[in-house]
Amino acid sequence: MTESVHPEKRGPAAGRPSALETEPPLLMDLERNVYLEGDRLVLVDRRRLPGEIVRVVCETAEDVARAIEDMVVQGAGDIAVTAGYGLYLASLRPGTGDREGLERAARRLKATRPTGYHLAALMDRILERIDGNPEDPPAVILSSLERALRRQREISMETGRFGETLLASGDTILTHCFAGSGLLHMLRFAREKGKDIRVFCTETRPYLQGARLTAWSVSSLGLETVLITDNMAAHFLSRGEIGKVFTAADRIARDGSVANKVGTLAIAIAAHRYGVPFYVLGYGGPDRRTEKGADIPIEERDPGEVLRFQGIPITGPRVKARYPAFDITPPELVTAVVTASGILHREGR
């Protein structure tokens, strides 16, 4: 765990990154949520938003890996860039800055979130570029991250542009978990065109990304925002109160299967049953290295995260739990995948 300390104190506490209070950032501006201060990496703790703004300071690649595992940073693209900064911190230190040390650091960082492909793909690209310019790994890594950030912004914006074309004024949409900045771009473009959109957001247990991040961000755009618990989605779909569903994806297989936050499959099944289009904001599109959904590893997180709510036990001491963090939605339940290059419709839909 992290602990709040005074800004003048430095260094990680109890083997974890240290936490510092700071001014509120722009939520979707990654450069104000994940950034360098000298040779340290600062992460705005998304577990504490929107009620409290806390900076978590990482000084080593291991600090970064633990911060990712502890859900300090959330969202597949943001996690990938954060891991890239972890590799940068490794490149600065004796014992981890050589090629062998960087490979070890990359393996550790990849292991933090095995379901998504963005993190592993970025690690591999950076290591390849270091092989092409082995004289200055820190500079190569920073250059690669600057390129990745630019590309991430472009992809998010273009995904939003294509997604906006699927919206009509008067639509009520449902989203699950934290679908990233592409969703916010989509809604912003719709509003700029005079479209009146209402958004239902699931709260997304156990970390409440939908409540703390998505609903907060959408409401900040001035749209009517309705928060529901995760088990209410089918009810509203069955009553015709939701006309379209938009989620993101941590990985899309070549066969069209979609890995996303657990609970996505249940929403897709309900949407299919009641004839509601189910769209996936796929950003960069399918992972060419993943043939089918069965090839996607599902991260199983600490069951204690289900047994507690914000650190408070919610059941008896003998109760066990399971926490698969993701599930796989088969392609036949997906109406279309929205990418930065266009909208990919499944045959026959």
Structure tokens at 303: 């069951």
Distance CA 32, CA 55 (A): 10
Distance CA 52, CA 71 (A): 16
Backbone angles phi, psi at 244, to 5 degrees: -150, 150
Decide: 67 and 19 in contact? Cβ < 8 Å: no
Structure tokens at 126: 């950076």
Q: Which residues neighbour 100 within 8 Å (Cβ) at sequence distance 6 or greater?
A: none
- Which candidate, 154, 138, 125, 129, places its Cα nearest to that of 39? 138
Prior bond to 206 cis, omega within 30? Answer: yes
Using alpha carbons only, how large is the chain's radius of gyration in Å? 20
Active-site residues, by number, are 250
Q: Which residues neighbour 148 within 8 Å (Cβ) at sequence distance 6 or greater?
A: 80, 81, 84, 122
Backbone angles phi, psi at 284, to 5 degrees: -80, -5
Q: What per-residue string of b and e applies to 286-313 under the rule 16 or more CB within 10 Å gives b? A: bbeebeebeebeebebeeeebbeeeeee
Output the DSSP codes for 121-176: HHHHHHHHHHHH-TT-HHHHHHHHHHHHHHHHHHHHHHHHHHHHTT--TT-EEEE-
